[in-house]
Amino acid sequence: MSNRTVLVAVVAALVGLGAGHQIWGARPAAYPAPNLPSPRSKPVDEGFAPIGVEGEIREILLEPDTLARTEALARRLSELGPESLEPVRAAYEDVLLDQGDTELVLFGEWWGSFDPNAALRWTQHHWNTDEQVPVLRGVMRAWGRSDPITAITTAGAVAPNDVQRLLWVDYVLRGWDESVIDGATSYALSLGAGPQRQWALTVTIRRRVMRDGPESVIAWAEALPEDDEALKLNAYRRVAAAVAEVDVDLAAAFAERHMDGPYGRGLPHRVGATWIKSDPEAAMRWLAAMPASENRNTGVMEAYRAWLARDRKAAQAYVPATPHDGWLDPAVALYARSISLRDPHGALEWASGIRDVDLREGTMGNIARKWYMRDQGAAEAWLAQSDLPPDLIRKIKIVHTNKRAREAAEAQGRL
């Protein structure tokens, strides 16, 4: 393994320790655990000093400075081959390590570069599902650099559930994209329509933006053949979101150029929801300046939803302080719902000003129904003087009425 490969692993470890379907392969009946020692054994007696590779690695692992330890470990592992597995593993077993430690990620990367199956079995045997993620990421990413198809097949066969299966393939695709083996993006494109292809495209397109630059990726997407409309639409959406992470102006121009075309549905949403992370008010101004359309409305709603999830206080302060002539109504609907628990009267007043009939009545119905279930008397009084359509009022009350009927029936059955 080259120094560059291991140092890539170092970077991945340092910045990445925060965060099924038959197409991935069939699940076998069993996947036996290997007879391997635990990575969390007690340290050996300090009076005993291992020699050779074991002693070198153990000394590095006991270095107190994190950056110096990581650099030295990456450098030394890059110089060692498969013949050093036993002394390296023995050194690791002599030192107490915890889940997520960078040293374990590097060990997984190194071992996975020459015997990923054994490294995977070791990881699964000694770490539970939550603890194994950083180590497993290293193993699968290294496997993706050397034999991605086998790695993906194995992920489909032994990952414990559908969510983990997608994550394992994510790690493989990252390694595949870093390797000299071409084809990661082609593999993603070859998958049939569905969540697997969408997930794979998300991973590979983000990698291409970082590696080749946003302009290159936009040109690639625009050159995709038009015989698979769903694929090109998915690619455009993922390009818009990935480019917005590094160049919002370029992403905005891409979305504006295509938003009224056959592959433009959802582009304002993807750019706006990503832009919210860096400058939410600028993202909302960009959406406000667009011509009115369902595409723009969806962008406003989803960008504001992302803002609420990211910074609820700032997002809630924005709506009352922003004059609008209807463009903000999708966000107003979410704003009204977000304050309805503490201020149902105010929430309904905001919702009543929404211009689109369906959005207005849907929002008011949602708020009033939840209020009715919490405080029937107060909600009844408000509904009696409201000008909501009788059919909507009936729908607001029917959920609560059905609930009471079910409770009465259950109580009768218990008598």
Q: State mean pLDDT over 305-312.
A: 96
In this predicted structure, what is the pLDDT of residue 95?
80
Q: Is the dihedral of CA 134, 136, 140, 145 positive or negative?
A: positive
- Which position has the higher pLDDT, 106 or 93? 106
pTM exceeds 0.75, yes or no:
no
**HEC assignment per residue over the chain:** CCHHHHHHHHHHHHHCCCCCCHHHCCCCCCCCCCCCCCCCCCCCCCCCCCCHHHHHHHHHHCCCCHHHHHHHHHHHHHCCCHHHHHHHHHHHHCCCCCCCCHHHHHHHHHHHCCCHHHHHHHHHHHCCHHHHHHHHHHHHHHHHHHCHHHHHHHHHHHCCCHHHHHHHHHHHHHHHHHCCCCCHHHHHHHCCCCHHHHHHHHHHHHHHHHHHCHHHHHHHHHCCCCCCHHHHHHHHHHHHHHHHCCCHHHHHHHHHHHCCCCCCCCHHHHHHHHHCCCCHHHHHHHHHCCCCCHHHHHHHHHHHHHHHHHCHHHHHHHCCCCCCCCCCHHHHHHHHHHHCCCCHHHHHHHHHCCCCHHHHHHHHHHHHHHHHHHCHHHHHHHHHHCCCCHHHHHHHHHHHHHHHHHHHHHHHHHC
Work out the pLDDT band at 151, boundaries 50, 70, 90. Answer: confident
Residue 41 has pLDDT above 60, yes or no: no
If you compute the radius of gyration of the chain from its CA atoms, what whole number of angstroms results?
A: 28
Residue 22 has pLDDT above 50, yes or no: no
In this predicted structure, what is the pLDDT of residue 127?
58
Work out the pLDDT band at 1, boundaries 50, 70, 90. Answer: very low
In this predicted structure, what is the pLDDT of residue 76?
93
Report CA 291 to chain centroid distance, whole Å: 31
- Which position has the higher pLDDT, 150 or 247? 247
Residue 14 has pLDDT above 70, yes or no: no
- Domain locations in the chain? 1-171, 340-415
Backbone angles phi, psi at 228, to 5 degrees: -130, 90
Work out the pLDDT band at 325, boundaries 50, 70, 90. Answer: confident
10-14, 54-58, 352-356, 381-385: which range is least confident on average?
Answer: 10-14
